[in-house]
């Protein structure tokens, strides 16, 4: 039997990070909102992952006491207006996403990147499914299978995003170190 | 004994409680938006917050596009110039005939004591982007109620009808395309003058001409233009071209598929029709025993 190592499948080595400021969390969420409302040409628009959902998952999984339901829900309302979708649709989906992420956060941190991606694709997929069910109930047609593409792209974007969010949190090299 | 955490661990309401609270709040919003449409003001408020963010995030792309425009090659400009000159020559000929026809038409209308057509006001707008909501077919344009756009205004481009303004924000408005599900446009077949209503299909970007009898005088390639009887769309604008007709005697109606005439999927400039046509008062009085509508009816009948 192979011993667990620091490969992609095993738990990532614990990093020592600097404490997270609330302002940093707010900035990441606002940048995510900006990326979500960014206008992209044609095909990229279909594939664009939901950056708010990903950022929320990150903060909830790694700092579950720092982000509550309220900011997630308000960001959902902002997305509803920006998208022109039904009011409360994204808000509901983000509430479901928060619930699942908080429920699973102790599990997810124990897994390595590869398995975290599988968790993330499930959470994002459920959030999109919630929106789909809401719209089908409101009388819309099922768009097509590409509707779920953002979940898959989002899950693939999880490892780089994970590292990106951590960049400002890594301890600065001490110039006085020997 | 019931277990509860010591009071110095402040945990707030449980996860399930919080989830139930926020999902209930969302459901209330969803129902009131979908069924009662009470949330106009709330949407406006959130839009004011989101709008600067939207413009800010669009800025790099716009800048890039402008830089691209700057480096248009000279050959391209020459070719465009050549083409425009030729076009203007062609247009001049048709304009001259049109001038004569307009005069004649005006004269005839006055002769017939017909109501003079209101000259409609247009406002040019740029399509900013297609709405990201994958369930609907909408575009967002850069003019809102600060520019006089009203919900319900018709939107046209150089080739025909694009759709109708459905939501207005201070500096933006959402245009529902004619291909959106159940979006209806009253039309007339240009060749035969037959009237009907097209409905958007929703998923494949085509339109359907519904409730046309199996033996209706419609052919492939017929141009459908707005009939103007709704008072929203100016009459005579191309809407769609008939592409497929299925006449099955087993059904009461023919199945007629059309493709939109305007570039509903292309991005560019559109015109929003601002003024609505003033229709004569409804000759049928809303409540009986009112003398005023009677008078209006007298005036309307020749």
Q: Which residues of B touch A96 (CB under 8 A)?
A: 19, 23
Q: Which of A165, A166, A169 is nearest to A55 (CA)?
A: A165
Of B16, B46, B181, the CB nearest to A81: B46
* Residue of B39, B61, B132, B201 to mutate, interface with A, max A Cβ within 10 Å: B132
Q: What is the pLDDT of residues A126-174, one digit of tens each?
A: 999 999 999 999 888 888 888 999 999 999 999 999 999 999 998 887 7
Does the distance separating the beta carbons of A33 and B25 come in below 8 Å? no
Query: Among A1-10, B9-18, B98-107, B291-300, whose mean pLDDT is lowest?
Result: B291-300
Structure tokens at B194: 């037959």
Question: What's the confidence (pLDDT) of residue A178?
Answer: 61
Cβ-Cβ pairs closer than 8 A, A with B, add up to 117
Would an 8 Å CB–CB cutoff place A82 in contact with chain B?
yes
Of A37, A46, A102, the CB nearest to B54: A37
What is the ipTM score, two decimals?
0.84
Tokens 């909408």, residue? B138
Q: Which of A144, A136, A53 is nearest to A90 (CA)?
A: A53
| Cβ atoms within 10 Å, residue A144 | 12
Q: What is the pLDDT of residues B35-80, one digit of tens each?
A: 776 777 888 888 888 888 877 877 877 788 778 777 777 788 888 8
Q: Which contacts (CB < 8 Å, 24+ apart) does range A63-70 have?
A: A63/A20, A63/A25, A64/A102, A64/A105, A66/A20, A66/A22, A66/A25, A67/A25, A68/B18, A69/A95, A69/A98, A69/B18, A69/B19, A69/B21, A69/B22, A70/B22
Q: What is the pLDDT of residues A57-92, one digit of tens each?
A: 999 999 988 899 999 999 999 999 888 888 899 999
d(C-alpha B253, C-alpha B247), whole Å: 8
Q: What average pLDDT score do residues B195-203 get?
A: 88
Question: What's the confidence (pLDDT) of residue B1?
Answer: 46
Q: What is the pLDDT of residues A13-63, one digit of tens each?
A: 677 888 899 999 999 999 999 888 887 776 788 889 999 999 999 999 999
Whole-structure pTM over 0.80, yes or no? no
Structure tokens at A174: 């001490």
Of A30, A80, A92, the CB nearest to B23: A92
Kindly list the distances between the CA atom of residue B262 and the CA atoms of A111, B160, B266, in Å, as whole numbers in the listed order.
53, 5, 9
Residue B161 to chain A, least CA–CA distance (Å): 21
Does the distance separating the beta carbons of B26 and A92 come in below 8 Å? yes
Question: What's the confidence (pLDDT) of residue A104?
Answer: 94
Look at strands B255-260 and B207-210 and give their pairing: antiparallel
Does the distance separating the beta carbons of A89 and B30 come in below 8 Å? yes
């Amino acid at each position: 039997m192979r011993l667990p190592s620091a490969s992609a499948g095993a738990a990532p080595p614990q990093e020592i990070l600097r404490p997270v400021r609330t302002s940093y969390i707010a900035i990441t969420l606002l940048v995510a909102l900006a990326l979500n409302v960014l206008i992209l040409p044609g095909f990229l628009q279909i594939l664009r992952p939901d950056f708010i959902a990903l950022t929320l998952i990150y903060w909830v999984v790694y700092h579950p006491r720092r982000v509550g339901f309220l900011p997630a829900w308000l960001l959902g309302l902002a997305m509803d207006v920006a998208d022109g979708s039904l009011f409360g649709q994204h808000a509901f989906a983000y509430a479901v996403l928060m619930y699942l992420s908080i429920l699973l956060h102790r599990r997810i941190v124990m897994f390595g990147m590869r398995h975290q991606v599988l968790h993330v694709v499930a959470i994002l997929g459920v959030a999109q499914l919630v929106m789909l069910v809401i719209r089908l109930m409101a009388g819309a047609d099922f768009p097509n299978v590409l509707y779920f593409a953002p979940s898959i792209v989002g899950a693939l974007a999880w490892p780089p995003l994970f590292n990106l969010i951590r960049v400002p949190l890594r301890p600065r090299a001490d110039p006085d170190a020997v | 004994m019931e277990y509860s955490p010591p009071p110095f661990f402040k945990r707030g309401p449980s996860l399930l409680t919080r989830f139930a609270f926020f999902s209930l709040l969302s459901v209330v919003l969803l129902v009131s938006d979908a069924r009662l449409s009470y949330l106009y003001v709330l949407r406006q408020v959130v839009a004011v917050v989101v709008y600067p963010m939207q413009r800010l995030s669009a800025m790099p792309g716009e800048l890039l596009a402008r830089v691209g425009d700057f480096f248009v090659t000279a050959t391209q400009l020459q070719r465009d110039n050549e083409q425009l000159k030729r076009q203007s020559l062609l247009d001049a000929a048709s304009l001259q005939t049109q001038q004569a026809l307009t005069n004649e038409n005006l004269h005839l209308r006055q002769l017939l004591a017909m109501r003079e057509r209101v000259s409609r006001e247009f406002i040019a707008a740029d399509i900013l982007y297609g709405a990201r909501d994958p369930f609907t077919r909408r575009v967002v344009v850069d003019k809102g109620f600060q520019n006089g756009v009203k919900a319900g205004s018709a939107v046209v481009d150089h080739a025909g009808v694009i759709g109708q303004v459905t939501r207005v924000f201070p500096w933006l408005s959402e245009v529902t395309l004619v291909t959106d599900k159940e979006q209806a446009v009253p039309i007339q077949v240009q060749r035969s003058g037959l009237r009907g209503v097209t409905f958007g299909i929703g998923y494949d970007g085509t339109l359907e001409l519904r409730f046309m009898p199996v033996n209706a005088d419609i052919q492939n390639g017929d141009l459908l233009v707005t009939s103007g009887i709704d008072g929203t769309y100016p009459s005579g604008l191309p809407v769609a071209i008939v592409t497929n007709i299925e006449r099955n005697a087993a059904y009461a109606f023919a199945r007629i598929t059309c493709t939109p005439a305007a570039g509903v999927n292309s991005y560019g400039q559109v015109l929003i029709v601002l003024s609505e046509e003033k229709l004569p008062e409804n000759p049928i009085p809303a409540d009986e025993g009112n003398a005023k509508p009677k008078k209006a009816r007298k005036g309307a009948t020749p």
